[in-house]
A = this chain, B = another copy of it.
């Protein structure tokens, strides 16, 4: 007989995902470090120790939330990048896809934004750095293609442009609430309109 069972990997994943959902909400609302396992247990209607039947640490919950989100994100991104679109259409598709991910994983995105910087130093979360590097390569590469093809302005610092576009998209997770008056696609449309054409009236 083995010394320990591992119900957290073999058991039915229904309850796990339910718990991960509430954990993600609390993490997003209070911040990871400010969130105690007792608060998560409260929100889930159980006691702190009971969480450890499903997960083996608080950190592994965070890990699972973030890696799950990134996996789904890259499913979408890779599909877009493999489609062989032009630079402008690629940017449009990436932005739209991003807002859809924010719609589906807004808690995870909020956590990612707040914590990823100092988490990526830890070896366990190195996939955050990897993802961010891949992310930068995809966006920066598309922008450079666009400048070369003369569909994007050449007079701007391209790295500044990259950060500009990236930030404008992802910070939306901090105020976005699913079920609002704007659908993700509508928000993407307006954001793209602003980023591409500006907010000033054309003269």
| A residues apposed to B, CB below 8 Å | 29-31, 33-34, 88, 114-115, 117-118, 150-153, 156-157, 160-161, 163-165, 167-168, 171-172, 174-175, 182, 187, 190-191, 193-202
A194 contacts B195, C-beta separation under 8 Å: yes
A165 contacts B199, C-beta separation under 8 Å: yes
Given contact pairs A33-B33, A194-B164, A201 touches B150 in the complex (Cβ within 8 A): yes
Q: What is the bound-complex CA distance between A166 and B165, given in angstroms? A: 14
Q: What is the bound-complex CA distance between A157 and B157, given in angstroms? A: 28
B174 contacts A168, C-beta separation under 8 Å: no
Contacting residues, chain B, for A150 (C-beta < 8 A):
201
B193 contacts A195, C-beta separation under 8 Å: no
Query: What are 24 residue pairs bridging A and B, where the CB atoms are less than 8 Å apart in the complex?
Result: A31-B31, A31-B33, A31-B114, A31-B118, A33-B33, A88-B200, A114-B114, A150-B201, A153-B199, A156-B190, A156-B194, A160-B182, A161-B199, A163-B175, A164-B168, A164-B191, A165-B199, A167-B171, A194-B195, A194-B198, A196-B200, A197-B197, A198-B198, A202-B202
